[in-house]
Amino acid sequence: MLRTELSLRLPNSPGALAGVCRLLSNERVNIVAMMLESSGQLRMVVDNHVHGAATLRDHHHQVTERDVIVTSVPNAPGALAPALRLVADANVNVEYAYSGAPDAGPVALVVLGVDDAPRASAAAGI
């Protein structure tokens, strides 16, 4: 499904990520998925991107928003490959991805940053 990802840059300092998580928690915004790069680039999908982005902006974070694909796949070897093949066959480039699942959990959550999210979502049926 198409979701809106929030992206912002954090300083490379102790507590920077904790501060963002605390801000969102205080506003009852749940983080569904996130990735923090060594450059300080934080990408996250939250349950209420409008309120989440407004909260972060109110606290002087420069937030950008982007459509991404968020999907659940079985937590098994090769489960993501068919969807990625359909995206590739639609000539859509995957620019980045992040995912996670509990060790023994049956489902993994995957976030795909692509150059054409609506086309990729339609092609992969997600």
How is the chain split into domains, by residue range? 2-66, 67-124
Taking the domain 67-124, which CATH number applies? Answer: 3.30.2130.10
What letter does residue 34 receive in the DSSP assignment?
Answer: E
Residue 48: count of CB within 10 angstroms of its CB:
15
Average of pLDDT values for 45-52? 98
Instruction: Tell me the β-bridge partners of 34.
Output: 44
Average pLDDT, integer, range 107-119: 91
Render pLDDT for 59-91 as a digit per residue (tens, 0 to 9): 999 999 999 999 999 999 999 999 899 889 889
- In angstroms, the CA 115 to CA 68 distance is 9
Cα 29 versus chain centre, distance: 14
Helix (H, G, I), strand (E, B) or coil at 69: strand
Please tell me whether the overall predicted TM-score, pTM, comes out greater than 0.75 for this model.
yes
Q: What superfamily would CATH give domain 2-66? A: VC0802-like (3.30.2130.10)
